[in-house]
Structure 1
Amino acid sequence: MTDQITLVSNDLHATVSPHGARLETLSYQGSASLTLHADPTLHPTWRDVYPGAIVGPVANRVAGGRVPLNDVIHHMPCNENGISALHSGPNGLDQQMWQVVHQTSNEVHLCALLPHETGGLPGTRAINVHYKVEGASLTLSISAVTDAPTPINIAHHPYWRLGDTHDHRLQIPATHYLPVNGDNIPTGQIAPVANTPFDHAHPKQLDPSVDHNFCLKTVASNVPTRLATLHGSDGLALRINSTEPGLQVYAGAHIPTLPGTDIAPFAGIALEPQGWPDAVNHPNFPPILCAPGHPYRQITQYCIGRDT
């Protein structure tokens, strides 16, 4: 099996790598890739910012790596200034070489197994990811099972670029967001977006300081609903539907500058459907506990087309 898997439909051409089960590129009707991509052999630090990867098993930041569970405090390795566990630390799902279970011309199924106590968390966990392209839509289906109660909050981390990023306008039907402290960890407050830079009820440019969760629901759902629409240059638009209750939006302030490429800070926007970050330490957030007999499931749809 080659390291790059190609998926095609009438409108889309995608490449997927088993390293991190990552979406490397996605092109629409022969366009340049709508996701940022660089050759990791030429730019070994590129994958440090999770481009296109499946991140988890607990995505986003966990304060102090602290995970209270059944009167026991578990500790995830802190990989962000010793202050938080970001995307489950240095050996999360983005670092795994996933097994390719099955593939066809337009879909691929990958699997990763995390033994008990991997990343400081209990449970032997099996994670399955399906990418499928049909027409102008890419559907990402994620599931996980465990043999012991454990937190699961998996996210997909592409950086989107629809033409010139200065032309990006983002619309999010969220009425609330999560304020963060100086370390980008949620304070526990759930604040209204009204009269703040986080109000994206109508399409507008993203504030460059944004690295926040937008609260779309109070529980995960079974049917994907609209989380965001990104409007790009030349009338191109990306609509994101998901079953997840939150959307982490990151303006890309710390994307590295890669010589010889057009990748630099703010070259793309990360839009990550997921559970609310640091939910393990905030009982008022939607729970992310996965248990035997109660698998984790996520369906996220990326639909690409022209504004009308």
Structure 2
Amino acid sequence: MVRMGSDSPILDAAACVGCGECVTVCPSGVLSLGDGLVVVAGAGCIGCGQCRAVCPQCALTIPGDDPWAQAYDVIEPSGEQIAPGGCQAGRLVDIMRSRRSCRRYLERPVPGPVIEDVIRAGITAPSGTNSQAWTFTVLATRAAVMSLGQAVAGFFGRVNRLAANRLVRKGYALLGRRELEDYYREHYASVAEALAAWERDRTDRLFHGATAVVVVGSRPGASCPAEDALLATGNMLLAAHCLGLGSCLIGYAVEAMRHDKRVKAAAGLPREETVHAVLALGWPAVAYARPAGRRRPLVRYKTA
């Protein structure tokens, strides 16, 4: 076995045939050919696994690869490596169009193995420089979800009291900060109504009765943590749908956690982590007959 540095691939020299395929796909330039074998040349490997994936002899392994990511509990992958063009794009589009944001859930809890498989599907997403610094904090019971809901309600109650003060709003606007004025115009009334319903009888207009929540965050040090987390979240939405779950992204909870450390603490996140998405999960109490429509986007082409 040949290894250079803690993050570099490990080469089984006896298995290597010197084809050089791994050298051509390495984005970090840490592999080269010498004397008919692959040479692992110094540090700089990002652990992307491209070399291992392309090697016809399985002569390379990546330190740090964890079997947890491959050991699904309820999903049954075939293990097949599907080449580009090797699956029906129409079926994939059917799945993507059929997934909708769910706002009616059964009281049935979501088992932990199901949630973990959703997360496993999430981390098949690409990650900038292969940082994989994403984190997933699971609120696995309705009681835990309601506790976070109470913290979010407390935050927006404080924001609404501030926004209700016209002098404060105008003062912020004069300083070039129109966020509070915009919030008052666009969200104040609906938030006040939701808060009143919450205080009256715990009507849940935030998580809509979901019995589980996954907070998708990141540890410090990633090159593009927000993009990584949101790509993983997109995969999770599709996996949840395929497993029979309903899902909904809860932007109000993200904003509360970004602006108030007490809300983030209520979700169980340490201070150094950043929140990028909050995903409500549960068994849907509604069935949809057709996919959602979409507006035509602006699409540009540049040919030179």
More strand by share: 1
**Greater relative CO (CA pairs within 8 A, separation 6+):** 2
Normalised by the size of structure 1, how large is the TM-score?
A: 0.24
More helix by share: 2
Normalised by the size of structure 2, how large is the TM-score?
A: 0.24
